[in-house]
A and B are shown apart, each in its own frame.
Chain A
Amino acid sequence: MKLLSDTTVLLQKELQAEFRSHELLTTASIFILIVIVLFSFTFDPTSAESKQFGPGLLWLAFLFSASLMLQPSFLKERTNDTLSALRLAVGDPFAIFLAKLCANTVFLLITQLLLLLVFGVFFNVSVLPIFPKLALVFFLGSLGISTTGTALSAVSSQARMREVLLPILLLPLLVPVLIPSAEATRALFEPEHALRWDWLGILIAFDVVFLTALWLFGEYLLEE
């Protein structure tokens, strides 16, 4: 129970800090937009190809932006020297991770939903009829990205060259998120709009495995 109340308070703090400044959301959205525009030069965006390659490119753009967005998650606590205060404030250090990864999932989802609409217009894909199913895929994918990303942000914040290090650590680890998310999204873009539970199963397994690992071993990362 204490874990839940601690997490709620910390989550509020994370959300409030972001919604006051909007720094992360604005820059990340613009970044994904730039990536999508640049991708469109590599093939003809109005053709049938866009339905085939679009989902993969969309998720690749999300992954790249996530590796930038998740960077400040722990870095700001280190530069402001607030990590020890956070540790003293909570009973279970997992609450810090839980709050941050929930906040990061929310941020990722907001940017993804914004960009999904832009993507729909640019690549001539109607996203509204499949929106509830897409939301499920996006939620499971974003949860996986933010769980591993938040943990690795705590890892990279303790190292040199952290800006380069986080993508190097995170992106290969996220292969089991990229493939199922992109494939499930592609299946939704097809005429049958099928929800592929085999792919969602891999996403759920990824989320469960890494949430458990973070719960078991996360506190070691927060030692001073």
Chain B
Amino acid sequence: MTRTVVYTLLVCVLMGVSAYAAFYVAPTEATMGLVQRIFYLHAPSGMTSLAAFLVSFVGSVMFLLTRKPRWDWLAVSSAEVGVAFCTVVLLTGPIWAHPAWGVWWAWDARLTSTLVLWLLYVAFLILRTMIEDADRRAVVSAFFGVFAFLDVPLVYGSIWWWRTQHPQPVVFTSAALDPMMRKVFYLSWLSLMCLMAQLIRQRYELEASREELRALEQELEAR
């Protein structure tokens, strides 16, 4: 319990610091101006959601191989957290796009593939609500989790080929990015990754308590 409080507080402090850095430390971008600052939330959220989906994939594969319920809990927890971060990307994208491109939504490669990714994992969460039996649900959704994650590079590849007008990623490659901007970007990413870890941890514990409750109820019925 105390550990949860400490972790949560740490994440809050880190989020606060990176928000401060994004608003006051990072220099204002020359052409886009203030609106560019949403980039410190938007792009790291996208990367964090992909990381969460990767964790969910690992959980699904490990569940299929070992059949230990805790892997299933990990898979569902991180899928839910990934969908939350993906939603942040889809909401902050249009807020940035409207002043920068003049439209709320453009069917460009990254936006479209993020939307498809979101749909895939929402389908995963819907599937889980449609199966009563806990063991079947775990197996079937782990299988779909594997399929969904394998689809991700193909979705990105095919949509990328199809069209692109998105600002190309400059964080990793280009020297044009201001060093301070790069530092703030990585700080934001770090804080969002910590937030993700904390959320997955909490959600995982919830799933564990649910399982415990289910076992107790069964025991009670058996008496």
Instruction: Please measure, in the bound complex, the distance between the C-alpha atom of A75 and the C-alpha atom of B116, giving whole angstroms.
Output: 27
How far is it, in angstroms, between the C-alpha of A208 and the C-alpha of B123 when the chains are bound? Answer: 23
Quick one: closest B residue to A172, CB to CB?
Answer: B119
Q: Does B136 contact A (CB under 8 A)?
A: yes
Residues of A within 8 A of B151 (CB): 173, 175-176
A158 to B141, CA, bound (A): 11
- Encoded as 1 (CB less than 8 Å from any A CB) or 0, chain B from 119 to 141 comes to 11001001100111000100110
The CA-CA distance from A19 to B216 in the complex, in Å, is 52
Interface residue B172 (Cβ < 8 Å from any Cβ of A): no
Known contacts A179-B159, A202-B154, A220 near B143 by CB under 8 Å: yes
A210 touches B143 (CB 8 A): no
Q: How far is the CA of A213 from the CA of B150 in the complex (A)?
A: 9
CA–CA, A180 and B183, complex, Å:
39
CB contact between A220 and one of B123, B126, B139, B159 (< 8 Å): that residue = B139
Asked if A183 meets B162 with Cβ closer than 8 Å, knowing A159-B127, A205-B154, the reply is yes
B64 near A173 with CB under 8 A, answer no
Inter-chain CA distance A175–B112, complex, in Å, is 11
Bound: A205/B152 CA distance, A: 13
B127 near A165 with CB under 8 A, answer yes
Instruction: Output the least CB separation between A220 and chain B (Å).
Output: 5
Given A159-B140, A168-B126, A221-B139, do A176 and B148 touch, yes or no (CB 8 Å)? no
Q: Which residues of B contact A (CB under 8 A)?
A: 64, 116, 119-120, 123, 126-127, 130-132, 136, 139-140, 142-144, 146-148, 150-151, 154-155, 157-159, 161-162
Residues in chain A within 8 A of chain B (CB atoms): 148, 151-152, 155, 158-162, 165, 168-169, 172-173, 175-176, 179-180, 183, 198-199, 202, 205-206, 209-210, 213, 217, 220-221, 223
User: Lowest 9 A-B CB distances belong to which pairs?
Assistant: A176-B154, A159-B130, A172-B119, A176-B158, A179-B158, A160-B130, A172-B120, A159-B131, A168-B123
